[in-house]
Amino acid sequence: MKTAARVLLAALLAAAPAGRADGSSVKEGFKKFGREVGQAGKEVGKGAAELGKQAWYKGKRVSKPKLQAVHDKTEAYWKKFLDDADKALAALRKENEELKKKAKS
């Protein structure tokens, strides 16, 4: 990221419109600036793609059995959680019915 900032700063300084020693016009300076910014953007994009590629390869190194174990434990947790929630709902419904019966009598 520091490289991209340096390239951008260099591009800004190179495209400064006032007092150019080489006699180029402001329009040409901004065209050059646009090209340099585009190039800097490409470099940043390539760096980000490389980081993404490295992360993907690290992720692939996780062993399949460990990944399956995590999946199984997660599935078991949510199954137990949902079963407990169903039991709690059934108990609440039963209690609600009993209270309704008491209220009528």
- Asked whether residue 74 falls in the same domain as residue 35, the answer is no
| CA-atom Rg of the chain in angstroms | 32
- Asked whether residue 11 falls in the same domain as residue 31, the answer is yes
Q: Give the per-residue pLDDT at 44.
A: 74
Total domains present in the chain: 2
Query: Rounded to an integer, what distance in angstroms lies between the CA atom of residue 57 and that of residue 69?
Result: 20
- Which candidate, 2, 8, 81, places its Cα nearest to that of 41? 8
Task: Provide the CA 70 distance to its chain's centre, in angstroms.
Answer: 22
**pTM (predicted TM-score):** 0.39
- Asked whether residue 49 falls in the same domain as residue 5, the answer is yes
- Asked whether residue 67 falls in the same domain as residue 54, the answer is no
**What percent of the chain shows pLDDT beyond 90?**
29
- Asked whether residue 57 falls in the same domain as residue 10, the answer is yes
Would you state the structure tokens that stand for residue 103, as one six-digit string? 């209220």
Would you state the structure tokens that stand for residue 61, as one six-digit string? 């190194």
| Residue that wins the pLDDT comparison between 94 and 47 | 94
For the chain, give the mean pLDDT.
77
- Asked whether residue 3 falls in the same domain as residue 52, the answer is yes
